Amino acid sequence: GAALQKVREIEAGGRSAFVWIGLHEPDDHQMQAVADVFGLHPLAVEDAVHAHQRPKLERYDTMLFLVLKTVTYVEHDSMAKAREIVETGEIMIFVG
């Protein structure tokens, strides 16, 4: 989209910049668009699209790929007070 186009313009101008792109459950097409702009390694891109990865840190050439686990406490009014719900998630980060 427009954000990726702006990144392309920065790259074309030879400037460096910090870029944060937040994607929630990206599909193959969305992730490939980001991979094309940043030159992400295909194996890391595949891992980023397919959830349920183990926590890890992998190096691909000059880029790092991190998978982190998250834990969130969820309050449910309809549940008995003695029950607690904990949801887990993943954050996948490319650095480089």
- Of residues 94 and 6, which shows the higher confidence score? 94
> pTM for the whole thing?
0.76
- Give the domain CATH number at 55: 3.30.460.20
Number of domains making up the chain: 1
**CA neighbor of 47 nearest in space, from 72, 22, 68, 62:** 68
- Check residue 13 and give its pLDDT: 73
The DSSP call for residue 13 is T
Q: Are 6 and 24 in contact (CB under 8 A)?
A: no
Residues spanned by the domain of 41: 2-95
Other beta carbons within 10 angstroms of residue 57's beta carbon come to: 11
The CA distance from 30 to 94, in Å, is 15
For 8-67, the pLDDT digits (tens) are 777 777 777 788 888 898 899 999 999 998 899 999 999 999 888 899 999 999 999 999
